[in-house]
Amino acid sequence: MRCTLAAAPLGARAAAEPPVVLVLGDSLSAEYGIARGAGWVALLDRKLSAEKIAARVVNASISGDTTSGGRARLPALLRTHRPAVVVIALGGNDALRGLPLDMTQANLAAMAQAAGQAGAKVLLAGMQVPPNYGGDYGRRFAAVFPKVARAQQAALVPFLLKGVADRPDAAALFQADRIHPTAEAHPAILANVWPELRKLLR
Q: Kindly give the parts of the chain with pLDDT less than 70.
A: 1-16
pLDDT at 12: 44
Q: Which residues are catalytic?
A: 27, 177, 180
CA quadruple 141, 174, 195, 57: dihedral sign: positive
**Phi and psi at residue 2, in whole multiples of 5°?**
-135, 130
pTM of the model: 0.91
How many CA atoms are closer than 13 Å to the CA of 146, on its beta-carbon side?
Answer: 7
pLDDT tens per residue, range 49-62: 999 999 999 999 99
**Could you tell me if 58 and 23 are in contact, meaning their C-beta atoms sit under 8 angstroms apart?**
yes
| Secondary structure of residue 124 in the 3-state scheme | strand
pLDDT at 26: 98
